[in-house]
Amino acid sequence: MDKAPIPISSAKQPTAKQPNKSPSGWKIIWREIVRDKVAFISLIFLCLVILSVFGISLVLDQEQIVSVDLFSLKQPPSEQFWLGTDYGGRDVFGQLIIGTRNSLSIGIIVTVLTGLIGVLVGLVSGYFGGTVDNIFMRFVDFFMILPTLMIVIAFVTAVPKYSIVSFSLIMTAFLWMGIARLIRSKALQEKEMDYVQASRTLGSSNLKIMLVQVLPNLSSIIIVTMTLNLAANIGLESGLSFLGFGFPESTPSLGTLVSYATDPQTLESRWWIWLPASLLILVLMLSINNVGQALKRATDARQRKG
């Protein structure tokens, strides 16, 4: 087991007896990210993208950007339209900004929701073990095997009143299993530790042990998995939107911009419509992954760089 993510609470305790107190979890994470130049640049890039996208989209008028303008169809990049316009005369740059905002938001929402469900199921399953665990895990195994993409697409079309809320709920419903399985295996190891036995002997309730004692010890793993999941979820959302089963066209996302490339003419000769969005997805996912990998190293002392 990794001893690296020393629970934050223990690091705060006065350590008069040990002059070399070990650094807190957050300090280790920060140090690891700063040491790893790629991850550090990625983090700065991510912060810049998030700030500028949310900042600029406050100024932009979504209604105006997604409304059709017949006087400026399919224009190449110019001073008025930095990245040209699409077949409806809509400003591609504005769509890119709003699309990035939408893709990031839905990625974060789905990641948080799947994280909550996955951690809860995994914790209960791993902590109690036995029949509960067996049933949960058979269920999780089953859903992990299924071709999730197809089923999500089928459900998206089957839902009568389709909206962003139902889209995120459908995605969540089929994506919490991975994190549940991971947390379960970690909780299974954790519950054999002496501190859990001690706490149980002292008469702590199962609920208290799970949430107050075991959960903080898993926090670093949860953060790492959720970071890596965020990248995967943004990829999945843009993939679904690309196929036409994510956001509707009136709500641009990075995937809807890329989906213009399914028209061979656009793909061949109007790269400014789809290429920026594609590269942005690529770079965003790479950066989030880089940060996630640095976090992963921070939680595993053997892999650390510094």
Partner 1 sequence: MWRTVARRLVIMIPQILLLSILVFLMAKAMPGDALTGLLDPSIDPAAMDAQRVRLGLNNPWHVQYWDWITQAVQGDFGQSFRFKMPVSDLIGQRMMNTVWLSLATLILTYLIAIPLGITSGRFNDTWADRLITGYTYIGFAAPLFIFALLMLWVFGFHFGWFPTGGSVEPGTEPGTVQYVASKIYHLLLPAISMALITTVTTVQYLRSEIIDTKQKDFIITARAKGASEARVYNRHILRNSLLPIAAFFGYEITGLIGGTIFIENIFSYPGMGQLFLSSISLRDFSVVTSLVLLYGAASIIGALISDITLSIVDPRIRIK
State the nearest-atom distance from the C-beta of 287 to partner 1, in Å: 9
Question: Residue 23 or residue 244: which is nearer to partner 1 going by CB?
Answer: 244
Query: Whole-angstrom Cα distance, residue 196 to residue 209?
Result: 7
State the nearest-atom distance from the C-beta of 301 to partner 1, in Å: 17
State the nearest-atom distance from the C-beta of 147 to partner 1, in Å: 4
> Are the CB atoms for 98 and 65 separated by under 8 Å?
yes
Residue from 65, 66, 258, 295 that binds partner 1 (CB under 8 A)?
258
Residue from 8, 164, 271, 300 that binds partner 1 (CB under 8 A)?
271
Name the segment binding partner 1 (CB under 8 A); options: 28-36, 69-77, 205-213, 271-279. 271-279
Total binding residues toward partner 1, as defined by CB under 8 A:
39
Question: Residue 4 or residue 137: which is nearer to partner 1 going by CB?
Answer: 137
Question: Residue 192 or residue 268: which is nearer to partner 1 going by CB?
Answer: 268
Question: Residue 165 or residue 212: which is nearer to partner 1 going by CB?
Answer: 165
Query: Whole-angstrom Cα distance, residue 245 to residue 255?
Result: 10
* Nearest of 179, 111, 116, 178 to residue 148 by alpha carbon: 178
Question: Residue 181 or residue 214: which is nearer to partner 1 going by CB?
Answer: 181
Question: Residue 11 or residue 108: which is nearer to partner 1 going by CB?
Answer: 108
Residue from 127, 136, 167, 242 that binds partner 1 (CB under 8 A)?
242
Dihedral class, residue 129 (left if φ above 0, else alpha if ψ from -120 to 50, else beta): left
- Judged by CB under 8 A, the chain residues 128 through 167 that form the site for partner 1 are 138, 142, 145-151, 153-155, 157-160
If one asks whether residue 59 binds partner 1 (CB under 8 A), the answer comes out as no
State the nearest-atom distance from the C-beta of 160 to partner 1, in Å: 8
> Are the CB atoms for 244 and 258 separated by under 8 Å?
no
Residue from 43, 179, 224, 261 that binds partner 1 (CB under 8 A)?
261
Q: Which two structure tokens, joined as six digits, stand for 124?
A: 């209960």
Question: Residue 9 or residue 303: which is nearer to partner 1 going by CB?
Answer: 303
Name the segment binding partner 1 (CB under 8 A); options: 54-62, 164-172, 209-217, 238-246. 238-246
If one asks whether residue 285 binds partner 1 (CB under 8 A), the answer comes out as yes
State the nearest-atom distance from the C-beta of 164 to partner 1, in Å: 19
State the nearest-atom distance from the C-beta of 306 to partner 1, in Å: 17
Q: Which residues bind partner 1 (CB under 8 A)?
A: 138, 142, 145-151, 153-155, 157-160, 231, 235, 238-239, 242-245, 258, 261-262, 264, 267-268, 271, 274, 278, 281-282, 285-286, 288-289
